[in-house]
Structure 1
């Protein structure tokens, strides 16, 4: 078996700026046509880096990054659910991979690093993102019928849930 071109690591201070660049690039690559252009174009790397630094300090080890050399090509973040009425004790808050790395397995490595496979978890995904929904189904998530409007776009999100397998938490 060959080694992947990337490595997965916990988010560290030296990764924050590259993570911000990756985050913005991923949104622009994945959501152009779904999220209004003016929203995608308004993202600012420095502002996003400041936000990621606050998250890194406040929630250590909640975010992992996929790195090629020192460049972040993807990331995943998880923690307690943010829903008013949570359906699982854990939420996958984010999982993004640069388009050039789609289909390589980096997203699989990231989801396994962010949440153990035997842990119940929920997530929100854009309703008009069948590629992501298919990926999450491959990892045991199913739509639970709950929908909402995303916080700063007019896009609809749907919740997916992975129930706790026997013996898991």
Structure 2
């Protein structure tokens, strides 16, 4: 059974692993193997962010006591033209849990039904379909990230 709870600083290592594994699983067709092999460990940054969170929310999903997914949401970080006051920044789980309801439970805990937005890779049909089912629609805004081998992302808003 999946349970969702607020993240604690001790979850930082597992959150980093889930994020990096999620990138490798979801973006292998978009980013080079060398790029994905060199993903850094941001455990200390996650640990600080969880410990010092004032307005953001980080939640983890557990299955049989093992942290298997996480979501991070909060006020927009660096956008002058943010379309909403709440942004889903991360939602990752191990791919073995796709279709299990874990992603939905994480989204519900981090965002609920509040108006919000997110960015996702433009060529990520599974994620786009999931977000559409939850009322998010592309708003026509697109960006590329040079530091991510020019990965193209689209903004989705509800």
Q: Say yes or no: TM over 0.5.
A: yes
| 2:23 corresponds to | 27
8 Å CA contact 1:18, 1:71 repeated in 2 = no
What are structure 1's unaligned runs of at least 5 residues?
163-169
- Residue 54 (structure 1) aligned with residue 55 (structure 2): no
1:117-154, Cα deviation, whole Å (9 max, x unpaired): 1x110100000001100000000100000000136311
Number of matched pairs = 155
> Of 62, 82, 101, which aligns to 1:67?
62
CA distance in 2, matches of 1:151, 1:65: 30
In 1: Cα distance, 2:50 partner to 2:9 partner: 8
What is the Cα deviation at residue 12 of structure 1?
A: 0.6
After TM superposition, the runs of 4+ consecutive aligned structure 1 residues lying more than 3 A away are none
Gaps of 5+ in 2: none
* Larger deviation, residues 104-113 vs 8-17: 8-17
Pairwise mapping of residues 130-145 of structure 1 onto structure 2 (< 5 A)? Answer: 130-145=125-140
1:95 alignment partner in structure 2: 91
What residue in structure 2 maps to residue 121 of structure 1? 116
Q: CA RMSD in A?
A: 1.4
Q: Scaled by the length of structure 1, what TM-score is found?
A: 0.86
